[in-house]
Structure 1
Amino acid sequence: MRRSVALLGLPLLVLSGCAAPGAGTAPPAGPDQPAAFTQRAEEVAGRWQPGQQWHDGYVPLQDATVLTGDPGFTGDTKVAFHAGWYRDQVKMPAAVPPDGVIRFADGELRVPLVSAADAYAELDQGDPPPCDGRPAGPRMSRPGSPEPGGPTVEPGPEGPVSTSAPTPCVPLTVTAARLGSAPVWTSRGRAEVPAWLFTVDEMAVPVARLAVAPRAVGAVPSGAADGKPLPGGLVAAEGLRAVAGDRLDYIVGVGACDSEPTPLVLERPDVVVVGASVVRPTGVCTLQLKMAPVSVTLDAPLGDRTVLDVGSGLPLTVRPG
């Protein structure tokens, strides 16, 4: 099986994690906003000209693996979810279902779907590493124990001993699959998208894998920036954390010694351009990029407007916090 990392997307466009204490917040753009940001944001907004599919097709702005609520993560299950470690306990249907419907705020779109087997093949990203001195799955009986529920082999005189902290090594157990839908952030705002819902024993809610066939999924256009570096004191946005009405929570990339990240925003009828300003250090500092959460309140609810990064000009996608 393949080994890659599955990203996290949650319903209602809210991602795991909360803004750190002291995280920046800001009102809408005003006269106190740096002129360098306003000029750059105006240029980015003016260059943004996506194709027709952006407005009437399906272009998702988050990963195709979506949680359907609070999963009740433990440390191990959170690692397994992000890594895409699964084991199936049921036979996945290979039949392709009839076309499904994506429901946007401004209408509907009929799209071809994939089978549960194909969706699960994309969901399952590989196997966990070998367990270090603890069970890799359900507890097993000692040899000779009369029943499956008998004593288990634990670290000790008859089992392996580990002196280090346990390494997450347990996959998530899939026991059922059904076709449903999941909320997804798209180029046309929030939409209900057909998805295969996989019941997982170790989690409180199903894991959804979007069921839209790849041929019906549009690509995110290239950035609308001119390739020039940002002016001094400005930093780029790295992704959205949450969208709720007129509030945007997003992440900016700051230097290891930068301080006071302050969100900046430019609103237009079709786009919102975001970034932040920082206070640069005066002394020597390591070349290290950190992610800082910030929040901004818009003049009006975001709706189906596109959120662009002032640095690259790219649309921001929903990503883990």
Structure 2
Amino acid sequence: MRSIRLRRPLVALALLAIGAVGATACGTETPAQVGSDDRERAERARRVSEAWEGSEAAKAWQEGYFPLDDPIRLPEDAFHNNADKLAYQTRNIELRGKLPDSSAKKGKIRWRAGGALTVSIDSAQTSYEGLAQGKATRAALVITGARLGERTLLTSRGPATVPAWYFTLKGYDTPLVRVAVAGPAKPPKSPIKSLKLPSDVLWPLGGLVSVSKDGRRVTVRAQHGACDDGPVVDVRETASSVVLSGWIRGRSDGPCTKDLLAKEVTVKLDRPVGERPLVDAYTGGPVPYKN
């Protein structure tokens, strides 16, 4: 097999320890092995969900601010052309105008179901710098101003109204909106230890992509190798948590590269996720949102 080429450092050390993706993804699965793996996955998911029930982690999740949504909302008519789309993807954004000097240092997050939390908010300049991470060129998107407002964001406690900066984009009728909250709280410490190495049974998930408006479809990034049929994500739902178990289907014999790949996988829930934490069965902790 060829030398290892990793695309995600999350499991680099683990892959080296087990012979990398190619070695893990190669080999013939027998019915006995598959059944044993299924039972082991189900048992791990059960232990994870039981560890979260009534835990300090669950309490912190239900009392804190943990976004499950993209902090950036694009203009309604984005994008006018491929050049603008590429400029956004590469964060090639230029400021041509004056940003307001907001005196507000604190703001409130208000949940639709009740409750509020006072948080620090970013200045317009800080939020702009969070957007414009590329080197501005002639093909840049142009910001000409900004105003402080609010937007609705899906969080660990359901929909919430969150302070946000509305940036005016040259040539666009609607603004580019970025959440102004200085950052989510550190995720609660898992009440159960993470597994040590990826295996045929479980792989760590690569992050949360989105939750549908009705809360019943969850999309995550699941990891797999170059010589298999792709990743699978199983779901265990309880009244207090949703445990997601990522694994790899269809490993085959023969030479293959050792690329670590990622694919978006959508799972359907029996009922809306609500305030239940989305938990990775491998790590035992919440699946972090990654845009």
- TM-score interval for Structure 1 and Structure 2 normalised by the shorter chain: 0.7 to 0.9
**1:171 and 2:140 correspond:** yes
Residue correspondence of structure 1 range 237-252 to structure 2 within 5 A: 237-244=205-212, 245=214, 246-252=216-222
Cα 1:282/1:189, change in 2 over 3 Å: farther
Which residue is 1:158 aligned to? none
**1:293 and 2:264 correspond:** yes
Q: Normalising by the residue count of structure 1, what TM-score does the alignment of the two structures yield?
A: 0.67
Which ranges in structure 1 are unaligned for 5 or more consecutive residues? 1-30, 129-135, 138-169
Residue correspondence of structure 1 range 127-138 to structure 2 within 5 A: 127-128=135-136, 136-137=137-138
Per-residue Cα deviation, 1:250-303 (whole angstroms, up to 9, x for no partner)? 221011111053331111212111133412122222111111222222111111
**1:302 and 2:273 correspond:** yes
Question: 1:172, 1:202 within 8 Å by CA — same for their partners in 2?
Answer: no
- Cα separation, 2, equivalents of 1:73 and 1:289: 34
SS at match of 1:101: strand
Which has the higher Rg, Structure 1 or Structure 2? 1
Letter of the 1:127 counterpart: K
Residue correspondence of structure 1 range 56-71 to structure 2 within 5 A: 56-61=63-68, 64-67=71-74, 69=76, 71=78
Which residue is 2:188 aligned to? 221
- Cα separation, 2, equivalents of 1:242 and 1:81: 20
Of Structure 1 and Structure 2, the greater helix share is in 2
**1:316 and 2:284 correspond:** no
What is the root-mean-square deviation of aligned Cα atoms in Å?
Answer: 2.9
- Alpha-carbon shift at residue 174 of structure 1 (Å): 0.5
- Cα separation, 1, equivalents of 2:108 and 2:122: 13
Which residue is 2:169 aligned to? 200
SS at match of 1:107: coil
**1:255 and 2:225 correspond:** yes
- Alpha-carbon shift at residue 33 of structure 1 (Å): 9.3
**1:36 and 2:40 correspond:** yes
Question: 1:60, 1:218 within 8 Å by CA — same for their partners in 2?
Answer: no
Number of aligned residues: 249
Which residue is 2:98 aligned to? 91
- Cα separation, 1, equivalents of 2:172 and 2:193: 42
Which residue is 1:235 aligned to? 203
Per-residue Cα deviation, 1:20-68 (whole angstroms, up to 9, x for no partner)? xxxxxxxxxxx99921211111222233341754322323345644436
Higher mean C-alpha displacement, 187-196 vs 226-235: 226-235
Cα 1:75/1:221, change in 2 over 3 Å: farther
